[in-house]
Structure 1
Amino acid sequence: MVKKAYSVEAKLACIEIKKVGKSNKVIMDAIGVKNASQVKTWWRWYQDDELYRFHQPVGNQYTYGKGMKQLSEVEQIRLQVDLLKSIRAW
């Protein structure tokens, strides 16, 4: 079984479609997501204001000191600003 890695743009598109009120099935068909639980996970991250998770690579967990914690504070803020700008552009 191969894990599918979705781009940040796909994740943001999912959030924007979900904000409009579309169902998970419609989102899955539009973006090509294979499992509804993935859409629910991204939505939960968005609602919990955990936007940094959209940059999280497959298999690496932040709880073990990987990912955003290794970046400097300036790089973390830059990533968050870029993400928020891309959300706003939708």
Structure 2
Amino acid sequence: MVKKAYSVETKLVCIEMKKAGKSNEVIKETLGIKNDSQIYTWMTWYKKEELHRLHQPVGKQYTYGKGMWQLSEVEQLLEFKFWGTFLKIIIKH
């Protein structure tokens, strides 16, 4: 069995769809997600404000001070603001 890698964009769209009240079945069908547990995991990270975890590769756990989180706090905020705007545009269309 091959693990499926989802892009950060897919994960963020999934979160926005769930926030908009879409069912897991609709989200899975629309985005090609295989399992409900993946949606629950991403939503848990969102609720805990751990969005940096969306960037971690398949099968890798977050290690403090490694990877994308090496960006300055300002750079991280700008990136999340960009993706938030991007998602709002996608959800509207």
Residue number in structure 2 paired with 1:81: 78
Normalising by structure 2, we get a TM-score of 0.79
User: Which runs of 5 or more residues in structure 1 are unaligned?
Assistant: none
Q: What is the CA–CA distance in structure 2 between the aligned matches of 1:81 and 1:71, rounded to whole Å?
A: 17
Identity %, equivalent residues: 48
Normalising by structure 1, we get a TM-score of 0.82
Query: How far does the alpha carbon of each residue in 1:20-50 deviate from its partner, in whole angstroms, 9 at most, with x for none?
Result: 1011111001100000110111011101100
Q: What is the CA–CA distance in structure 1 between the aligned matches of 2:8 and 2:40, rounded to whole Å?
A: 16
Residues 52 and 80, structure 1, Cα contact 8 Å, conserved in 2: no
| SS of corresponding position for 2:3 | coil
Q: What is the CA–CA distance in structure 2 between the aligned matches of 1:28 and 1:34, rounded to whole Å?
A: 6
Quick one: higher RCO (CA 8 Å, sep 6+), 1 or 2? 2
Residue number in structure 2 paired with 1:57: 57
Which one of 61, 66, 69 corresponds to residue 65 of structure 2? 69
- Counterpart residue type for residue 83 of structure 2: S
